[in-house]
Structure 1
């Protein structure tokens, strides 16, 4: 039973999450075979302050990009 985990920032609507779950499931079945009923999708929303790159949190990066815009 495949498990596909996606970590993303909060902010997507319930409808967009449903679309993503369906698209990931359909793509897995198309590429790897099997049945959609066996595919599990886990969406984990991560606060931008808890996700970092290059020594900065994404919360900082987002705030800096708003100041520069």
Structure 2
């Protein structure tokens, strides 16, 4: 089974998560020519303090 993993910051709504899972599955199914029910999608949400850019926490970078 193909496994799709997306790591991102906080995803705001359940509707956004549903659209993302649907869209990723649809495109991957079309590209790989496999049935959609064969795909597993994992959305991993990370706190912005757990990401670093240029030696700073992403939460601080985004506040600038």
TM-score range, shorter chain: over 0.9
Aligned to 2:36: 36
SS in structure 2 at match of 1:10? coil
In terms of Rg, which structure is larger?
1
Distance in 2 (CA, whole Å) between partners of 1:51 and 1:24 is 24
Aligned pair count reads: 64
Where does structure 1 differ by over 2 angstroms across 4 or more consecutive aligned residues?
A: none
Distance in 2 (CA, whole Å) between partners of 1:60 and 1:49 is 8
Mark the runs of 5 or more structure 2 residues left unpaired by the alignment.
none
TM-superposed CA distance for 1:11, in Å, is: 3.7
Mark the runs of 5 or more structure 1 residues left unpaired by the alignment.
65-69
